[in-house]
Chain A
Amino acid sequence: MEYLIHICVLICIYVILAISLDLITGYTGMLSIAHAAFYGVGAYIAAIMSLNLHSPFIVNIGCAATLSGLLGLLVGIPSLRIRDDYFVVATFAFQVIILSILNNWMSLTGGSMGLSGIPQPQILGFRISSHLHFLVLACLFCILILWISLRIAHSPFGRVLKAIREDEIFAQAAGKNVAAFKILVFVIGAGMASIAGVIYAYYIGFIDPTSFSVMESIFIISIVIIGGAGSLWGSVVAATVLVVLPELLRFIGLPGAMAANIRQIIYGSLLVAFMLWRPRGFLGNYGFHR
């Protein structure tokens, strides 16, 4: 039962990561490889604040989202002056920088040893201690972020995002400040990803840089593509499937080392298969194209 709840918490975390990236990549068409960096920034801010300042959960999650959003702004403003492929490279660079900071700023981040002993969060005097408590917490945030994303996606604001993805020139000719929309959605996505990081840090109680690597960014992109770019519910379904699938391998009784490698193979072949036969993903309406 504990194990099942653990899987569900992970699903919630990846749903948050996937829908926030879907707003950026699926709706607006900006392929970002920096999502795990924002995820990591959230996790480390929560860990550092709770370990050193003993500040409460609510304050930490607010700080993480704000700082991550500001970082998103910092990356966004110069990056959005460049186009398509160069944006991919710029976000990749940011991902590498963040990871190297996490690895090397020993006094703050603990380097490759990471940070451990993150205390259990307390919300309004209630201590979140069991797995089940965490599941409720993760679910609440997951639902909140899904609600926010759906509201954005189905508003006139979301209509402009889709227009930007399809034809920036037309969006400009229709009187839309394309750069402002892009920066705004990038900042929102970055803030949401950091919230997933905060929940992860508190839940596991120990974080190190390997959880926020480029591979993690690519994993999140895979979820978005397999779920269907521009389909929030698709992201929810794909996050569930891609988290559960490798866990099933355990039941076949494969040794751990082998299972980890097979996991990569599964993601790789799934991506190729979807690209070939169903480029629009599970629930998407649009092919992922640039």
Chain B
Amino acid sequence: MNCIDSAGGRARAFRDLIGKTSGRLASGAAVLALVALGAVLSTGAAIAAAPASPHVVEYTIQVSLDPDRKTLDGTERLVWRNPSGDPVPELRFHMYLNAFKNNRTTFMRESNRQLRGDEAGTRPEDWGWIDVLSMVGPGGKDLRPAARFIQPDGNDPADETVLSVPLPSPVPPHGEIALDIKFRSKLPRVFARTGFARDYFLVGQWFPKIGVYEPAGVRERKTGGWNCHAFHGNSEFYADYGNWDVTIDVPSRFVVGATGKRVSEAKKGGRTAYRYLQDNVHDFAWTADPRWISIEFSFDPARDVKPEWTARAVEELGMPASELALKPIACRLLLQPGHEWARERYIDSTKAGIAFYGLWYGAYPYETLTVVDPPDDAVGSGGMEYPTFITGELANPIFNKWFTRGIRGIEIVVVHEYGHQYWYGMVGSNEFEESWLDEGLNDDSEARAMAMAYGPRDVAVFPGGVGVDSLSLRHAAYIRLPNLDPIRRCAWCFASGASYGINSYMKVGLFMAQLKSDLGPRAFTRAQREYFRRWSFRHPGTKDFFDTFEEVSGRDLSTYRRNVVEGTDRLDWSVVSAKTRAAERDTGVFDRTGGRVTLDAGTEATTPGAKSKKPDSEKKKPYVSTVLVGNLGEWPHGALARLVFEDGTVVERRIPADARWVRYTVTWKSRLAHAVVDPDRANPWDWNHLNDSKVLGTGKGAADTLGGRAAVKYGGLTAALSALWTQLLWALA
């Protein structure tokens, strides 16, 4: 087998040369040239007008499912193009399914054999693995005998999730190698994204998948090298972009859904082979189940994008609506029997996600989207993202009762997983080392999409009007977490699974909300849109994120990176004390314009027996209020302080960023009613909102607060709940 030096490879070499010598503008021009070149040279099956990605990989896979043994037999032709200027003497492959091979793998040991509350099975048929049967390289040589499993993270020696394949001769800089691989995969009983439950199959990370060779300069690398980590309990995935041509052979009774567009279907001997093509993606997943209810629907921008959404995007981005045009998408929902009630919710939330991400970041470039609704005994496969293919969750009929219908679990998951088409899908950050760049950014985007589509109480609304919004949910998670880890950390390096989850998702959601508050909506959304545009189909890192935001916003964000993302600084402005007292009248001897006077509590006493006279100025300002506000956290960041007096007067002052504390002293004719710092919650990063205020009394206007009444109401309610609890126990009495 010869290396193929294709036009694509030459084009990439050209771009690499231009990129090194001419800076961003030339790279942009080169990318545009590649787009044109790619469009001319692409085969008939490629997606028209798709943005170019550096086609590092080309996968052509034929796979056959044995539903009884839960195995896949496959042949894979992989063309890998060296993206660097280094000769590469070995290839590294992710063998993700080996994470489920036994209880000694890194994944099983770190996760304690569970993921998101779902546990691994323990019967013999529940394990999963993948074997490379042969790997024929250049010259027809089988490379498999020389291949060996390695543990690049110093992890468990029994772990077999990274396969190193030494090559007889290195792949030259920007050269190519083609391999013909035969493999067999055994799917595990699903608990961690991929596997089976009865005749339901969700097939992800199922083939030998080549790792990412990062050239020097990518993600702050000083030298080129493989970035191919073991599969850890908390990590996800990282791969290069390319073309995919996958043929899936299953018994004809199965309904199949997959990444990409189905281009052919061939029946033979009770089985059907479905062929799918997809360009410009870095992964491929599929599903098969005889029970799927297949619902085709389309996203039509003219029908499905509400005018107020477009208006909001125009306003926030400061761009005309003509530049925010979206395109139709052919969508498919694979629904489980028994979940028919969730059909419209799946469809509506998919459309809302497509609209938001398209308007704010850029049109979804692919033709198709498949949304999968897992069965209730395979929820471990839910809430997952793959290119053009997402899995939902929470369609169990228990969520269709009158008291649970207001929980938008389906919508949150669909919008979130769709959002991953952007963060991780098109902006290919490294989920192993910088999970915040996809999960966290997407957490923020999802919250904003949900607020756009479902209003301020976007997470849940319960009977009685009690609601939960995304920001509050994130705040709740943030404050429960011991402050042990920064946001940026390799996925397996966090102190605990909870620390990984909250630091990767919710803390970043809060951080992004803080950034938006500080930069302003226009600067923030434009910066984020530029980050998406600039880093689509590339592998950005933390530095690339901040460089883009600083460039677009014109602000120095070094403390955000250093203290918040790479540090563990908190912000906690609080009203430390608030007092109000009658102003002390002048007492003693004073030299005034008219001469020396002796005052006793403001009353002039010049001669014995003389009538006392109060100075007019003393009558009008009888109260002195003192408020001390302080930042109990470590991050230097300002806030707004607001003092409200009983007569409704409001005094506001901006606290400078470098202040640790500030004392305000105000003399006013009215008593202080309450003092509050950050009254409008412009600091989502603030760790404790309960200490943001102190209430001394009530009054009119802005001073009309109901705290006292609240204490009575909720005290009574708590007593009632306790009483009701004892009445429940009467069932025993």
A interacts with B:
no
Using a CB–CB distance below 8 Å, which chain A residues touch chain B?
none
Using a CB–CB distance below 8 Å, which chain B residues touch chain A?
none
